[in-house]
Structure 1
Amino acid sequence: MRRHDLVWLAPQAPWQVLTPGADARLRAWAEARLPFVVARRDPVTDGDQLRLGVPLPLAERRQRLSLRIERTHVQRTAPPPLLPEVAEALAAPWRDALPPLLADLPEPTPPPRVFGSFAWQSLTGLPYLHAGSDLDLLWQITEHTHAAALTERMRRWEREHGLRIDGELRFPGGRCVSWREYAGGAARLLVKSDDACWLSTRDALLTQPVAA
C-alpha cells in the first residue's frame, strides 16, 4: 500500500489513535464503511504498521484525524479514484473544464488519480468543496521529458480556464514531488515516498534508490 491509497477497516479494529479524543469519531467513520487514506509512515515510530488518516468534511472544520494499525486488519484497499470517475459528478466550472485537460495530455499519460477534497466528496457524498478548492491530482511519470510536457500542459490549462490544479508527480519507485515545484525549475526538489521525505536533484528522481 502506497501514500494516497484507500483502505477500509472494521469498526472494532484494534488501532492506536494518534489524534487525542478522536477514537469515537474514527469508529463511527469505519461503521459508515467510509475509507481511510494511507499516509506517509515514520519507520522509527510506526515500525511495520500503517499510518492512516481521515480528513473530516467542511461541517467538522476539515479536521484531520490519524491512527496507526497493523496491516493484517485492513479489509480492502483501492487506489485513489481516477479523474474521469470524479469529474462526472462535478458542477460548473470544473465539469466543463476537465474534458479538455484529459483530451490533450502528452503521451504516455494515463488518466490522473484524484486525492484531497474533490476525491473525498466523491467517495463519501459529504460536503468538502468550497469556492476556493483546488483539484489535487496524482500523475504517473516515466521520464523527465514526460514530466516537462505534462507540467507545461497543466500551466496552459490553468491560464485558459482560470482554475487551479495542485498535486504530485509520481516517479518510478514511488518518489513524489509537487508538480508546481518541479515546474518551477528548482535544482533540488522535496521528495515524498511512502516512508521518507528528502531533498533530491532532478536526475536522482529516476536513478537514485528510494530513501529508507
Structure 2
Amino acid sequence: MTIMLNRHFLVWLSSEGWDSVMNQVHPGNVTLIEEWCTKDWPAIARRHEVGIAEDQICVGIAGPPRDDGTRPRVPLAIPRDAVSRTTAPISLDRVISVLPTRWHDGITTLLQEAANLNITLRVYGSASWQFITGQPYVRNNSDIDILCYPRTQEELKRIVDLLDHTADQLPLDGEVVFPSMEAVAWKEWQAARHSNDGRRVLVKGCHKAYLAKMDTLLHTFETTQ
C-alpha cells in the first residue's frame, strides 16, 4: 500500500497500530488515545522527526482545549504497516456546518470564488478536529487554517490574493502547498511578493523546514508538469 506522507493528511491506524503506540503516550493522555482508538478517529500526518526510522510515520493527535486554554498534543511515531488508510485534508465546504454561523456568509463567498478558480480549499487545525470529533475545538480567537494546492503560478497568485482579500472578513490563516508538496504560510508568501529585497520564505516539508528563495519554489510548477 502506498502511504501518503504529506503533512496534514488524515491517517487511520489499525487496531494493532493503536496497540503499538500506547507505550509512547504520557499517562495523562492515555484516556484520550483510548477514545481515539475506540471511535476510529484519524491522526494527522506531521513532519518526520530526526531520529525516527524511515519505516515509521510521524503523526499527531490534539485534544480539545482545556478550561485554561491549553490543548493536549500527542506526537506519535507509527510503523508504516500500522496505517489502515489515509486521505487528503478535509475540504472547507464540508466543515462549514460545524463553524460559527457568523462566518458562514464569508465562507460561502470564499468557496464560490475559489470554485471560480477551480481550486479546492481544505482545512486543518481546530476546524478539522471539530469536524472529525464533534467536540468543541473552535474558540472565539480561533483561526480558519486553510490549505490550498495551486497547480500553476497564476493559480498561486490568484488564490493568495483571494485569501488576502477575504482575511478582512474572516480570521484566515494557513498554507499554500507547492507541487513539490512543500508548504509556505500564505500570509508570508503574500508579504514576500510585495517586498523588493529578494526575501526568502520559510518552507515546511515532510522532513524539514528551511528558508528558500521564492523563485526556487515557483520553479517547481515547471518541473512537475
Deviation at 1:108, TM superposition (A): 4.2
TM-score normalised to structure 1 length? 0.88
Match of 1:6 among 5, 10, 13: 10
Match of 1:56 among 59, 63, 68: 63
Equivalent pair of 2:99/2:138 in contact (CA under 8 Å): no
Other-structure match for 1:92: 101
Deviation at 1:105, TM superposition (A): 3.0
Deviation at 1:144, TM superposition (A): 3.0
Once residues 42 and 17 of structure 1 are traced to their aligned partners in structure 2, the CA distance between those partners, rounded to angstroms, is: 18
Amino acid at match of 1:94: W
Once residues 50 and 171 of structure 2 are traced to their aligned partners in structure 1, the CA distance between those partners, rounded to angstroms, is: 34
Deviation at 1:195, TM superposition (A): 1.4
Q: Secondary structure at the match of 2:123?
A: strand
- Seen in structure 2, the aligned counterparts of structure 1 residues 106 and 144 have a Cα distance that, compared at 3 Å, is farther
TM-score normalised to structure 2 length? 0.83
Q: Secondary structure at the match of 1:88?
A: helix
Other-structure match for 1:207: 219
Other-structure match for 2:45: 38
- Seen in structure 2, the aligned counterparts of structure 1 residues 140 and 34 have a Cα distance that, compared at 3 Å, is same
Amino acid at match of 2:208: A
Identity of aligned residues (%): 30
Give the CA RMSD over aligned residues.
Answer: 2.4
Other-structure match for 2:32: 25
Deviation at 1:106, TM superposition (A): 8.0
Deviation at 1:12, TM superposition (A): 4.3
Q: Secondary structure at the match of 2:180?
A: helix
Q: Secondary structure at the match of 1:133?
A: coil
List runs of 5+ in structure 1 lacking aligned partners: none
Match of 2:126 among 95, 112, 117: 117
| Structure with the higher fraction of residues in helix conformation | 2
* Alpha-carbon displacement from aligned partner over 1:25-45 (angstroms, at most 9, x marks no partner): 323321221111111102543
Q: Secondary structure at the match of 2:114?
A: coil
Once residues 184 and 19 of structure 1 are traced to their aligned partners in structure 2, the CA distance between those partners, rounded to angstroms, is: 39
Once residues 17 and 113 of structure 1 are traced to their aligned partners in structure 2, the CA distance between those partners, rounded to angstroms, is: 33
Once residues 27 and 50 of structure 1 are traced to their aligned partners in structure 2, the CA distance between those partners, rounded to angstroms, is: 20
Amino acid at match of 2:207: D
Number of residue equivalences: 208
Equivalent pair of 1:11/1:28 in contact (CA under 8 Å): no
Once residues 134 and 18 of structure 1 are traced to their aligned partners in structure 2, the CA distance between those partners, rounded to angstroms, is: 30
